[in-house]
Amino acid sequence: MQLTMNPPDSDLMTYAVRMVIPMKREFGRTLNVHQFLHDLPYATEVIEEALKSNDERLRSYAAYAQTKIFGPRGGDPPPPNAATMAETAPAAPAVSAAGEKEISEDLRAKAIARYKSGLR
């Protein structure tokens, strides 16, 4: 599976570059930044290993990369679905079909009047 990096996610690349030296020192692992940014299984493996580190900075870099790649863990609740929104949203005033047609005709007449007044 391949990741795609958006231009605003250049922070992810910065954190991946910052992880190179601590990963080499602690685990003897050479971190390939390009592969990290574009290969999901490789990124998952590196992040899991970095989260087990004794180095606080490396763990924080890995946590940041994890949230950027996989989304937040245990953070905000997921957005409510349509059924929940329908229950909590106030009911809109009911407009009959005749009322809708009347409103749309009124709006159409106003638009035509604006158009005509603009022509000379």
Residue located via tokens 């910065």: 14
Q: How far apart are the C-alpha atoms of 42 and 69, rounded to whole Å? A: 12
**15 within 8 A of 64, measured Cβ to Cβ:** yes
46 in a domain, yes or no? Answer: yes
Does 102 fall in a domain? Answer: no
Which distant-in-sequence residues (6+ apart) come within 8 Å of 17 by Cβ? Answer: 33
* Cβ atoms of residues 12 and 19 within 8 Å: no
pTM of the full structure: 0.54
Determine, yes or no, domain membership for 98. Answer: no
Residue 76 domain-assigned? no
pLDDT band at 78 (very low <50, low <70, confident <90, very high): very low
φ, ψ of residue 39 to 5 degrees: the values are -125, 105
Q: Whole domain around residue 25: which residue ranges?
A: 7-70
pLDDT at 38: 87
Report if residue 104 sits inside a domain. Answer: no
Q: Of 61-65, 66-70, 75-79, 107-111, where does mean pLDDT reach its minimum? A: 75-79
Q: Is residue 88 a part of any domain in this protein?
A: no
Q: How many domains does the chain have?
A: 1
Is residue 13 included in any domain, yes or no? yes
- The answer to whether residue 23 sits within a structural domain is yes
In one-letter notation, the amino acid at residue 40 is L
